[in-house]
Amino acid sequence: MVETFDFRTVHSVDICASPPVVFDYLTNPHSWPEWLSSSHVIEGPARPLREGDTFSEEWGSKRKSTLRWTVTACDRPLSWAAETTTDALGPIIIHYAFEQKGNLTRFTRTAHNPARPQPVNEELARRIDSDAIVALANIKSNLEKRRPSID
């Protein structure tokens, strides 16, 4: 039996926009290159995706690869999940949660890699966290420019 390693990151940001606005922006993967530096070209429907929808993403910083995603859960405007499998990293599951907090939406992004062929070292974990913090700041900025207040 081949040993694998479980890795999960969870990051949140409060955004001054309603949960449906935040949900619709983030569950349309065509928005991802606007806020996620490792996401480049998206092919698939240009709309918020629903359970069963599929799309592909050109992904990577140094070496680019194509990820083929399937939306595995969609409960608008509360939660959304998608999954892909890569040869190098194994399965990757992303889960988005949207919670109204007064006039803000708390967006929480969980990235789960349950069967990595190698563990994540401290340097890589720091880079992943740093990239996630930048991505969430980009999301907040992009949405608050579009919608300065909650609906």
User: Considering the domain boundaries, does residue 80 fall inside one?
Assistant: yes
**Residue 34 belongs to some domain of the structure:** no
Q: Quick one: tokens of 124?
A: 């890589």
Terminal-to-terminal C-alpha distance of the chain: 52
Q: What is the pTM of this model?
A: 0.92
d(CA 12, CA 95): 12
Query: pLDDT at position 147, please?
Result: 55
Number of domains in the chain: 1
Q: Residue 51 domain-assigned?
A: no
In angstroms, rounded to a whole number, what is the distance separating the alpha carbons of residues 133 and 71? 24
Question: 111 lies in which domain range?
Answer: 5-28+73-146
Instruction: Specify if 128 maps to a domain.
Output: yes
Q: Give the CATH number, domain containing residue 83.
A: 3.30.530.20
Measured over the CA atoms of residue 11, residue 118, residue 83 and residue 85, the dihedral's sign is positive
- Alpha-carbon distance of 27 to 52, in angstroms, equals 13
Q: Is residue 59, in this structure, part of any structural domain at all?
A: no
**Contacts with 101 (C-beta within 8 Å, 6 or more apart), sequence order:** 14
Candidates 105, 84, 107, 85; CA nearest to 10 is 107
- Tens place of pLDDT for every residue, the chain, 151 residues? 889 999 999 999 999 999 999 999 999 999 999 999 999 999 999 999 999 999 999 998 777 899 999 999 999 999 999 999 988 889 999 999 999 999 999 999 999 999 999 999 999 999 999 999 999 999 999 999 975 444 4
151 SS3 class: coil
In a domain, 22, yes or no: yes
pLDDT of residue 150: 45
Is 137 a member of any domain? yes
Within a domain: 20: yes
CA angle 58, 126, 93 (to 5 degrees): 45
